[in-house]
Amino acid sequence: MKITSCIKVLPIVVILLLFNSTVFSQVVVERSKDKVVISGIPYYIHLVKKGETAYSISKAYGITVEELTKENPTAVYGVNEGQALRIPIKPVTEVIPSEPVPVKKLLDETKFSYHKVLKGESLSSIAEKYGLTVRELRKENRDLRFPQVGDSVRVPGVNTAEIHEIEKVKTDTVAAIVEEPVIKMERPAGFTPVKELRGSLDVAVLLPFYLRENAERIEIDSSKSIHTVIKRAEDWIYPWSIDFVEMYEGILLAADTLRSLGLDINIYPYDIKSDTIAITELISSGKLAGMDLIIGPVYSYNLTAVAAYARDLGIPVVSPVTLINNSALSGNPTLFIAGSSLEIAQKALAKKISEYYDNNIVFIHSDITGIDEDVKRFKNLIFTELSYKLPFDEIKFKEIPFYSRSMFNNDSINRLSHALSGQFKNIVIIASEEDPVISETIQDIHGLSKKFDIKVFGYQAMRDIKNLDPKYFFDLDIMVYSPYWIDYTKSDVKQFNSDFRQKFLTEPLEKSYAWQGYDIAYYFLSGLAIYGKDFIAHPEMHYPDLLQTEYDFIRKEAGDGFENQKLFLVRYTKDYEVKLVEENKLIQQK
């Protein structure tokens, strides 16, 4: 009897427990860090997770449910997992101290100014001028070791002996209070003529040539604890050095061209790999001190060291390859990044995608954990651009984290199919540079393209996929922003190929670093020869006709370096041609 009673009661107990856990357990809502500005008003973009409610989300952001539903009318009927909500960002209420705080203390703790470095000044003299220690000044300027004339030094507080001295400081250092604005000159209307050059320039080339690896290899016999050095065949090339050997060959050809116009050029190549030993020794030797231009190195940590050293000497340093990020530009006004970073491509893509604001937008990425800042930034840029075209609640946006087919039994194509719309046109954005993500997603899209109207956008890395049939690109009419574009019909491109073939017995492929080497050397050396040091501060004054790019160097803030902003929109058409999209025209790549 007791056993029977227990059996009858058990389901009820389980149901009550499940009900109680649903009602009383509270899902912790994590506040979003993604922000957009819509019609001048800042908002958080919150993606609803399982178990979250309108009430719990409102509470997490410090707003009422009424405020939430006002911005998101559909939330009146509840919120759904994956739904994007617009959350108004409330201004921080100013806290008034209950007791008077000395004016000097407020100035010291909450204010700062910028001091523009004058001739003969050092960190020590600037610190003394403001009543600070050098340590206090360095704390606010961690990247500034040796201030140069024109640099902006951040000064914490106005640490004067008496308050009436504040006005005197303002009078003496008016330019120091406001940071110097970034002034950009107008670019020439036509190409800069490069002819009849004069003078002599020294250029250091710091690239990973892997000279030792090309000359010999080492065999190790672990049983006898001995190693044997074996000479390489003369015609053998170490695979990792090929790209940079070709870049150097392009630099040599650019130097030959400029020499024919009267410029004397001396090139000093150095084998700088990923380790810091060689670059540290080179800097310490002082051999770079007399250079007019430094090309390289290619690894970020070595580049940062060289840029800091060259900054104090006023020597321009050019990063010849695309970097993971552009953080090295901060505080290095003579550093130039020739290859546009991912952030530049994202801005261009977001602006282009906003032209299709009334489409169903599907955003695919590999950030399963939700911590990738590149993905967050890109998504935020897209929402910002779309918000200029239509109200937030009318944006049709779906986000799909990528899962490999091997993990989920080819379920990816089903998830993508559910995200696509049969009623609206679809924009699919592949926000990843990883080969598996790109190749598998493109194959899935290709399989669904007969059922849905789809247009595909992606990063430059998409063009470098080797394990994917190019047919997919043409069938899908894919568009990609690229920092490079070669028009093989141009006379200078034909001449470059001819010279390269004659000197090096081969022709460079479209993706060869030889083109970059030529353009970088030709642009910077001719700019220095024509304009001198003024060119370093205002590279926009120089606009020569290059082989595969057009440099558009811009710095974010005074005191930072320059990054190339120029990108070409490349399209793979259904008639199996690769074309450049320019001012709504298509220019075919021969």
Q: Which of 116-125, 305-314, 336-345 has the lowest mean pLDDT?
A: 116-125
Helix or strand (DSSP H, E) at 568:
strand 568-572
CB 578 within 8 A of CB 572: yes
> For residue range 103-158, what is the model confidence (pLDDT) as tens digits?
333 334 435 566 777 766 777 778 777 777 777 777 777 656 566 666 667 777 64
For 343-482, CATH gives 3.40.50.2300
**103-177: what fold?**
Membrane-bound Lytic Murein Transglycosylase D; Chain A (3.10.350)
**Is CATH 3.10.350.10 correct for 2-88?**
yes
Position 252, amino acid = L
DSSP string, 266-315: EEEEEE--SSSHHHHHHHHHTTTTT-SEEE---SHHHHHHHHHHHHTTT-
CB 518 within 8 A of CB 320: no
Helix or strand (DSSP H, E) at 422:
none
Architecture of domain 202-340+487-567: 3-Layer(aba) Sandwich (3.40)
DSSP-based three-state secondary structure for 16: helix
Distances (CA, A) of 231 to 216, 217, 272, 536: 4, 6, 22, 44
DSSP-based three-state secondary structure for 250: helix
Q: What is the pTM of this model?
A: 0.66
332: left (phi over 0), alpha (psi -120 to 50) or beta: beta
Outline which parts of the chain fall under CATH 3.40.50.2300.
Answer: 202-340+487-567, 343-482
Outline which parts of the chain fall under CATH 3.10.350.10.
Answer: 2-88, 103-177
Residue 183 has pLDDT above 90, yes or no: no
pLDDT of residue 236: 84
pLDDT of residue 149: 65
pLDDT of residue 530: 94
Taking Cα atoms as reference points, which of 377, 380, 436, 382 lies closest to residue 412? Answer: 436
Helix or strand (DSSP H, E) at 161:
none
> For residue range 50-67, what is the model confidence (pLDDT) as tens digits?
888 888 888 888 888 888
> For residue range 421-479, what is the model confidence (pLDDT) as tens digits?
999 999 999 998 888 889 888 999 999 999 999 999 988 888 888 788 889 999 998 98
Tell me the C-alpha distance between 175 and 178, whole Å: 6
HEC string of 456-506 equals EEECHHHHHCCCCCCHHHHHHCCEEEECCCCCCCCHHHHHHHHHHHHHHCC
CB 209 within 8 A of CB 298: no
